[in-house]
Chain A
Amino acid sequence: MSARALRTTLIVLAGLGVALAGYLTYLHYSGTTPPCSIKGNPCSQVQKSRYSELDGVPVALIGLIGYIVILGSLLASESERARFATMALTLGGLGFSAYLTYREVFTLHKICEWCVGSAALMTIMMGLSVWRFLRGDVDARARALAQAQDPEPIAPPLGAAPS
């Protein structure tokens, strides 16, 4: 997978995360009961529980801010620092999702499919961003290799950092 394709995939996933967390934040502030396919609407019970807020701040809002910052790190120019930021943020997001899932399963004994959806999204994003960080800028290496074999200049990809 090229660095560009990987980054695009992550941008799409972060966009989905913003939409999901944005919707949950809206539900929290409007007091609307979330739609839920599970009998007894455990989503509503989870979202009205004391664990739906962290020190008075709705966890949905924390998630929304998290996804927006991740999206920002992905839209920044391709660089080692930007890849590190995305990796660190998604790992943080995964840790937070793990905490919320623990509260759902072991404290509230309820599962909210919206929360599980967000946790799954964050897990995929974390896996991809760790992979992206560890392998570095593969496109730059490919360009360098191509240039060594054929000294003709190659146009840098869109959004690449000026070297």
Chain B
Amino acid sequence: MNQQGVEDDEADLTRKQRREQAREQRKALEEEAAAGAKRKARLTQLGIVVAVVVAVVVVILIATGGGGTKKVAPHSTEATQTTAAVNKLIGGIPQNGDTIGNPNAPVTLQYFGDLECPICKEFTLGALPTIIQKWVRTGKVKVEYRSLETATREPEVFKTQQVAALAAGKQNKMWNFVETFYHEQGEEDSGYVNESYIQGIAQQVPGLNLATWTTDRSNAELSNQVASDAQTATNAGFTGTPSFLIGKTGGTPSKLEYSSLTDPTSFNEAIEKLLKA
């Protein structure tokens, strides 16, 4: 009986151990499955967060960079119309570097501007055409374009765009560049002026040798001129654009106070006064 009892106990123990082992295995498998499901859930959550972040970044990129970029394609209808308008206004008038008009004109008007300044655009498309027709085309006044940074927020961008205009001046086409820029000016402070934009303006200047223009853009003399213009403006006490100095050619110019940028009366009066003097 004793021998039989011991064998039964051993058999029971083995059965118990087997049951225990099976339970352990089941538990391990369940835990593994649970861990796998949790890992999968975490990966799904990670994927959702990544997708949301990418979507938000794309929205921010569009919202901050979409509206401001304004570039007129060189051969588009708008470009053709601009070129025609600019040509009608200044075509046939002699240019020399930053100056438009008869080199021996008795009166010199210095126009301090920033190509991105919307008030300068108001003047360029407002009072300036009358001044050009009435005084510049007739050889009585010459206008010199001077650079003064106001609306352009990044100094490097300002220097780049103004030097690009001066480089067109090396081929005596600066005023075509400046007029085209103002005609097609983008929204202020929207960051629309980049290399592609500047190239687009240059391509709209009839007869501009782009290879020479590109070489001239790295001419240190031109960036020095931008700095020198800023110094002249500081000496004159100018802080805003457009600002003007006017005087007899070769004489000491004085500040021109204007009452309107679209009505040329203030300019006409100042010019007439100098011509009579």
Contacts and interface: CB of A to CB of B under 8 A. Distances in A.
Interface of A: 40, 45, 48-51, 54, 84, 87-88, 91-92, 94-96, 98-99, 102-103, 107-108, 110, 130, 133-134, 136
B16 interface: no
Contacts of A110: 156
A136 B191 CA distance: 45
A54 B38 CA distance: 38
A133 B191 contact: no
B268 interface: no
Contacts of B60: 54, 96, 99
A95 B154 contact: no
A49 B153 contact: yes
User: Taking chain A's interface residues, is the majority helix, strand, or loop, or is none over half, making it mixed?
Assistant: helix
B53 interface: yes
Interface string B39-50: 100110110011
B57 interface: yes
Contacts of B46: 87, 130, 133-134
A108 B57 contact: no
Contacts of A95: 53-54, 56-57
B43 A107 contact: no
> Main SS of the interface on chain B?
helix
Interface residue tally on B, bucketed by range: 20 to 34
A45 B56 CA distance: 26
A48 B153 contact: yes
Nearest to A84: B45
B277 interface: no
A96 B39 CA distance: 27
B234 interface: no
A91 B47 CA distance: 11
Contacts of B190: 50
B53 A94 contact: yes
A107 B49 contact: no
B154 A136 contact: no
B64 interface: yes
B250 interface: no
B78 interface: no
Nearest to B63: A55
25 contacts: A45-B155, A48-B153, A48-B154, A49-B153, A49-B191, A50-B189, A84-B45, A87-B49, A91-B50, A95-B54, A95-B57, A96-B60, A99-B57, A99-B61, A103-B64, A107-B65, A107-B191, A107-B194, A110-B156, A130-B46, A133-B46, A134-B43, A134-B46, A136-B38, A136-B42
A41 B64 CA distance: 24
A87 to B, nearest CB: 7
B153 A92 contact: no
Given A87-B49, A91-B49, A130-B46, A54 B64 contact: yes
Contacts of B154: 45, 48-49, 108
Contacts of A51: 64, 191
Contact of A102 (B38, B39, B50, B61): B61
Sorted nearest first, the 4 A-B pairs with minimum C-beta distance are A95-B53, A95-B57, A88-B49, A99-B57
Name which of A45, A95, A103 has the most chain B CB atoms within 10 A of its CB.
Answer: A95
A88 B118 CA distance: 43
Given A50-B189, A91-B53, 13 more contacts: A45-B156, A50-B190, A50-B191, A51-B64, A88-B49, A95-B57, A96-B57, A98-B57, A103-B64, A107-B194, A133-B46, A134-B39, A134-B43
A161 B189 CA distance: 51
Interface string B154-170: 11100000000000000
